[in-house]
Structure 1
Amino acid sequence: MRLWSLDPSILDRAALIACWREGLLAQKVLAGGTRGYTRHPQLERFRGAGDPAAAIAHFLTALQVEATARGYRFDATRIGVPDAENPRIPVTEGQLAYELEWLRAKVIVRDPEWLPRLTDPAAAPSFVTIPGPIESWERGVPLGAATA
């Protein structure tokens, strides 16, 4: 499960679609609708929000808005909490840099023409950037192990 902390506008087509699909799964997990993935580390940040259901809904809404702007049809009725308030979940600069590097490695292979768009590790609307290294919930830090 990869719930990108990066702004959806810089995700390539494959990352945007996968993040939507995995975000819907995360929503189901957080609502207690499945027994799988309940301990997935990326869910820690949503569970730490005041209202986890609203936090994941806000995250999904940002993906849906970006998809619509690109002409894709992500079904907004699948978002559990319409018009959820921004949870402003903290995400570290190191995490964003790590994710940008991870995304670049994927895009080089599957969509090299998208690569010039990957210059700014801006956070998705549900997150607020804070100083710090890669997040503690990140697992298997390969690549260049970005830190801030």
Structure 2
Amino acid sequence: MRLWSLHPQYLDAKGLVALWREGLLAKAVLEGKTRGYTAHPQLIRFKKQERPLDAINVYLQAVLQEAQRRGYHFDSSKIDLKATHPKIPVTSGQLAYEWKHLLGKLKVRAPERFQKLKALDGLEPHPLFVKVKGPVEPWEVVK
């Protein structure tokens, strides 16, 4: 499971579809509807929120918006479109780590997208997050 801190605009089609599915799985975990993935590190920052379900719904709203912008048809009935949540801090180190990870994936499965994105600077975080200075997040499993 990878719940990207990066803005979904950077993902290729496979990545965006995977993010939607994995976000819905995360939502099911937070709702207590599944017994798997309950201790997954990617869920820590959502579980730490006062309203974890609102946080994951706002996260998924942005994924849905990106999908709609591209003309994809994700099922919006699967999330709470009225949920709101304050921004969650994410470190610059986490964003840099994820950027490198994403570029590695894109180099293999979407070389054209990789070529377009590899020189970008000043990356945008996912709309749920606000960038703060700092190292890779402690919950990240660094490889």
* Fold match (TM-score > 0.5): yes
Unaligned runs of 5+ in 1: 143-148
- Could you give the per-residue CA deviations for residues 71-122 of structure 1, whole angstroms, max 9, x where no partner exists? 111111001x222113311110000000000000000011111121352431
Which amino acid letter does the alignment assign opposite residue 87 of structure 2? R
Quick one: percent identity of the two aligned structures? 52
Matches of 2:46 and 2:23, distance apart in 1: 11
Paired residues, number: 140
| Aligned twin of 1:57 | 57
Alignment partner of 1:3 is 2:3: yes
Deviating 4+ runs (over 4 angstroms): none
Q: Contact (CA 8 Å) 1:86, 1:125: kept in 2 or not?
A: no
- Could you give the per-residue CA deviations for residues 37-74 of structure 1, whole angstroms, max 9, x where no partner exists? 00011101011112100000000010000000101111
Unaligned runs of 5+ in 2: none
Q: Secondary structure at the match of 2:54?
A: helix
Cα offset for 1:15? 1.1
TM-score (normalised: structure 1): 0.91
| Aligned twin of 1:108 | 107
Q: Contact (CA 8 Å) 1:68, 1:74: kept in 2 or not?
A: yes
Note the 1:1-148 alignment, pairs <5 A: 1-79=1-79, 81-115=80-114, 116-118=116-118, 119-120=120-121, 121-139=123-141, 141-142=142-143
Matches of 2:88 and 2:82, distance apart in 1: 17
